[in-house]
Amino acid sequence: MGKSMAGHLMTKGQLSLQVSDRFQAACDPLVKQGATFMSPVEIAKQADYLFIMLGYPRDVETMVLDKQDGLFRHMKKGSFLIDHTTSSPSLNMRMADEAKDLGINCVDAPVSGGDVGAKNGKLVTMVGGQKDHVDHVRPLLDMYSAQVELMGEAGAGQHAKAAN
């Protein structure tokens, strides 16, 4: 799903992307379209908007909150983390609190629609976070979503996805 979503950002938004995956070959189609492959930390150091979609809440916790190598330790003040992982509301609330302390903006935004929805740019994105943060990233989310709904504060997107 992430590959298709990133592809929409590149084609509809004409944005330059830096991409990463545990398996570099998974990013080859995006690299052929002009994306640059980098490590997550390298991306975090320069990105204004950092999108993640990982397997499990424990993956998100390690990738984002690790005290030494977590993405939050490397992100620029004022940048945005958009978490598309289907995860845990309490984890996203914790992430939002820590992000705020670090001057980073955090939005939980799990999606529904599967691979077909991602390929067709027709995902439903259920968003939790501060309204001004969500309003700021909405044009990006709209590039691969048929519907973007603010469900409430941090963790609310995860609650909506669980109910879905």
Question: Catalytic residue positions?
Answer: 161
CA distance 96 to 1: 24
Helix axes 156-163, 89-102, angle to 10 degrees: 160
Find tokens 């590039």 and name the residue: 143
Please report which helix (H) or strand (E) contains residue 131, including its range.
helix 131-141
DSSP 75: P
Phi, psi of 78 (to 5 degrees): 90, -10
Concatenating the DSSP letter of every residue in 91-128 gives: HHHHHHHHHHHHT-EEEE--EESHHHHHHHT-EEEEEE
